[in-house]
């Protein structure tokens, strides 16, 4: 049996976990513990995620890609994980404007410096395997970005990749910044970034920190989503992974990402409420 997303339909336990995560997000309330039995594998976790997508009152505007720790790749058989980014949680910035971005008070909250790929055309519905070159051809633009990683569950990252996948990949928003000039012809080493919280430097890196680069992240999400029956669509944004670290942040603090000549992004962290839980 298939759900509307095309994935395998959730069993009762998976549906209950999805309902509890969605309820906590919509009410902006923290969760003390994982709301059920922790899934043993990523397949089960994606079933929970798909069930939660069905319950969420918004359309998907893109996807976040996260890195699975190298030491866990063998256990899970893959190097990355994915989660949805909903349209109402996507903001657009230019000229270093500061945007208010909500996080779950009492839950997990962090900012991440990202390179955001824009998908240029619909992926064919039946195409399950993608080469690196085919994935690159799907990208119409590359932008600087700031992901808000936040969940009602404070220990989400500590509990491992299946838990992260279960709760929308630990995503609560995305700032999409200016396009990167001539990105196809630039060496990846030229794409650098420095992250600041409350004026203090907390991380430094760039696109070169992504194992396989941002194109590998697009290749991954093309394949994993095709297998779930939800192929990427024209205009989708893909946050391809953190490049300077996962930087914990609190309500009331500010974040700044300096991408050098490619631009700057700023955010003010505010408390998630039922009214802004987009």
Range 12-271 has CATH code 3.30.70.330: no
Nearest to 105 by CA among 271, 221, 264, 276: 271
At residue 11, the pLDDT reads 84
At residue 6, the pLDDT reads 47
Contact in structure between 165 and 76 (CB atoms under 8 Å): no
At residue 155, the pLDDT reads 98
At residue 3, the pLDDT reads 43
At residue 29, the pLDDT reads 97
Please tell me the total number of residues recorded for the chain in this structure. 278
Q: Show the low-confidence residues of the chain (pLDDT under 70).
A: 1-10, 95-96, 278
At residue 90, the pLDDT reads 98
Taking only the tens place, the pLDDT of each residue in 95-143 is 668 999 999 999 999 999 999 999 999 999 899 999 999 999 999 999 9
At residue 8, the pLDDT reads 53
**pTM, 2 dp:** 0.95
Q: Domains of the chain: which residue ranges?
A: 12-271
């Amino acid at each position: 049996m298939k759900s509307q997303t095309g994935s395998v339909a959730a069993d009762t336990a998976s549906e209950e976990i999805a309902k509890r995560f969605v309820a906590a997000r919509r009410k902006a309330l923290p969760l003390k513990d994982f709301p059920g039995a922790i899934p043993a594998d990523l397949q089960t976790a994606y079933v929970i995620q798909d069930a939660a997508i069905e319950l969420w009152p918004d359309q998907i505007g893109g996807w976040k890609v996260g890195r699975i720790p190298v030491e866990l790749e063998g256990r899970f058989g893959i190097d990355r994980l994915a989660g949805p980014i909903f349209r109402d949680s996507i903001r657009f910035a230019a000229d270093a404007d500061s945007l208010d971005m909500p996080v779950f008070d009492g839950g997990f909250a962090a900012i991440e410096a990202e390179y955001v790929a824009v998908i240029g055309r619909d992926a064919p519905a039946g195409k399950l395997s993608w080469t690196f070159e085919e994935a690159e051809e799907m990208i119409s633009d590359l932008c600087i970005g700031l992901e808000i990683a936040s969940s009602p569950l404070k220990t989400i990252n500590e509990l491992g990749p299946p838990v992260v996948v279960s709760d929308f990949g630990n995503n609560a928003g995305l700032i999409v910044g200016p396009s990167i000039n001539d990105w196809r012809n630039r060496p990846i080493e030229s794409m650098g970034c420095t992250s600041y919280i409350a004026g203090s430097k907390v991380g430094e890196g760039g696109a070169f920190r992504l194992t396989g680069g941002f194109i590998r992240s697009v290749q991954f999400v093309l394949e994993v989503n095709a297998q779930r029956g939800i192929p990427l669509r024209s205009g989708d944004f893909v946050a391809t992974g953190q490049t300077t670290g996962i930087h914990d942040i609190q309500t009331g603090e500010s974040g700044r990402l300096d991408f050098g000549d490619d631009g700057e992004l700023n955010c003010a962290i505010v408390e998630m409420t039922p009214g802004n839980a987009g």
